[in-house]
Structure 1
Amino acid sequence: MNRPAAQAATRFDPATVARAFVDARRAAAALPEFPGPLPADMAAGYRVQDIAIGLWPDEVVGWKVGKIPEHLQAELGAERVMGPVFARNVWQADGSAPTRLPVIAGGFAAVEGEYVYRIGADAPADKLDWTPEEALGLVETMLVGVEFAASPLATINVLGPRVVASDFGNNAGLVLGRAVPDWKNTPAPACEAYVEDKLVGRGSPDSLPGGPAGSLAFLAAACARRGRPLKRGQLVTTGAASGIHDIEAGQSARITFGDLDEIRCVAVAARPAQGGEGNP
């Protein structure tokens, strides 16, 4: 008589996975392991993500894009992975004080130097294929920024892109820096990332496959196919140009973009959410 219950416990259940990730993020509590069997493919990971977006008490104001390792792209049928950015997890960099990044003890946390687009027009909901040139036609502004990649699951990247998709694309926030002047005609400056004043990575827009516009074209198509076409005012953070750099509570980071900007951050211990608030 216990056999059906045992079988149910070993079956992948997107709603159960979504609830576990959302509850852990809101409680600022680490997950010791993935909550159940792993998603079989990227579509299963995105089913979890869609349910979790519905559970999260905040508005989606943008999206992150990440590169899938080349050795997994053929198996997964995808080159990139996406995840939502929520309104309360967007911060404007302040030159007078570092941005505080809430890290869940026992989870995963990292900073990434990125190039960010602000969308200036709604994308047609029925347009499912985009070229980089077409996608750039949606853009109002390019900015520099820092993605705060974080999850209650320490092994999220080890377990791979299907799991990354399940937990908001491993996104926990976005720090916005300055706009890139004349971005359509002038290349954005290269970036360097420092953790505890040690250089840990550097890159440029060319570090991303197809450049930031390639990431945007992927995202415009992927959002439309998920019934979530890009909207005016949304932010798109296009990939870890500097690489992915682990950070722990108490550590500081700074990401420089040539003479344009320096964004400073400090990792702090995450606290449980109160009321209708969310944690990253």
Structure 2
Amino acid sequence: MSDEHRAARAADALWAAWTSGDRIAALPDDIRPRDDAEGFAAQLAIGEHAGRTYGWKIAATTTAGQAHIGVNGPLPGPLFERFRHEPGDVLPSADMHMRVVEAEFAYLMGSDVAPEAGPDEILSAVAGLHLAVEVPDSRFTHFETVGAPHLLADCACASRFVLGPEVPDWGGYDLSTWATEVWINGERVATGSGGNVLGDPRTALVWIAEDLRRHGHGLRAGELVTTGTTTAPVPVGPGDEVRAAFGDLGEVAFRFAG
């Protein structure tokens, strides 16, 4: 079986689980990704089912997150247009498996990032900053034990995403020390800061630009990069009202269907 066919079949199996709401223990041996490259190829193949992407997410940007899912570093995953939401939306809840939300900073790219670009050039390609909440999920029953190639194939636990307001004059803020909070049903349940994202969300942006290169991809103008959770992932359930507060920068609020 060719590598391309293996990736397509892995994507078929994962998309079937994604759309049915069923969870799988692991991909069958004959199509199981053997390394990160095969896992990434499978996530790209899922795009044939899920449709248009508008950017990237980064999973496991905290040491605690990496330890929880048994990986040695962050993982990239695509953001699919069909799962994008706006503040005030009511998000489906019946098919949630991980049942968590994450308050994040997201960069909007203003220009393509050249393959040879260094950190300064990567950062200079940014056109804007948004506040956001990710609602990650996995198609695996025990996502915390399947390993990095499986998680890459699973789009790094990509699922729903709430894109919040753009931050004016964003370049003047030190996000590495910027405080964040998550409130559920009017109660503050988590606090954190941009420093939880690889020490600085800018570091996460540089990381994904460099990591995508090894897979033959790059960041492009108009793409959004959400950089990882600033607090511990916050448990949620049907009917919950969510508010991620970013101090003077603003907030992102929405709720889940009951």
TM-score by length of 1: 0.77
| Structure 1 position 68, deviation (Å) | 5.9
Do 1:60 and 1:87's aligned partners in 2 also have CA atoms closer than 8 Å?
Answer: yes
| Aligned equivalent of 2:152, options 141, 165, 172 | 165
Instruction: Give the alignment of 1:125-274 within 5 angstroms.
Output: 126-127=115-116, 130-131=118-119, 133-188=120-175, 189-268=178-257
Structure 2: unaligned runs, 5 residues or longer:
none
Q: Structure 1 segments of 4 or more deviating over 4 A?
A: 68-73
Q: Tell me the number of residue pairs that the alignment of Structure 1 and Structure 2 aligns.
A: 248
| CA–CA separation in structure 1 for the residues paired with 2:212 and 2:94 | 29
Do 2:133 and 2:163's aligned partners in 1 also have CA atoms closer than 8 Å?
Answer: yes
| CA–CA separation in structure 1 for the residues paired with 2:40 and 2:103 | 25
Which structure's residues are more often helix, by fraction? 2
| CA–CA separation in structure 1 for the residues paired with 2:189 and 2:25 | 28
| Structure 1 position 233, deviation (Å) | 0.8
**Does structure 1 residue 49 correspond to structure 2 residue 36?**
no
Query: Which residue identity lines up with residue 109 of structure 2 in the other structure?
Result: I
Aligned partner of 2:89 in structure 1 is 99
Do 2:62 and 2:197's aligned partners in 1 also have CA atoms closer than 8 Å?
Answer: no
TM-score by length of 2: 0.83
Aligned partner of 1:5 in structure 2 is none
Write the deviation string for residues 134-193 of structure 1: whole angstroms up to 9, x where unpaired: 321110001111112123334223434333211111111221222223221223442111
Larger Rg: 1
| Structure 1 position 247, deviation (Å) | 2.2
Aligned partner of 1:277 in structure 2 is none
| CA–CA separation in structure 2 for the residues paired with 1:109 and 1:130 | 37
Write the deviation string for residues 210-265 of structure 1: whole angstroms up to 9, x where unpaired: 41111111111222332332111110000111221232233222211113322222
Do 2:71 and 2:147's aligned partners in 1 also have CA atoms closer than 8 Å?
Answer: no
Do 2:62 and 2:198's aligned partners in 1 also have CA atoms closer than 8 Å?
Answer: no
Do 1:113 and 1:243's aligned partners in 2 also have CA atoms closer than 8 Å?
Answer: no
Alpha-carbon spacing, 1:159–1:68, altered in 2? closer, same or farther (3 Å):
farther
| Structure 1 position 104, deviation (Å) | 4.8
Is the partner of 1:175 in helix, strand or coil?
A: strand
Do 2:96 and 2:137's aligned partners in 1 also have CA atoms closer than 8 Å?
Answer: no
Do 1:123 and 1:138's aligned partners in 2 also have CA atoms closer than 8 Å?
Answer: yes
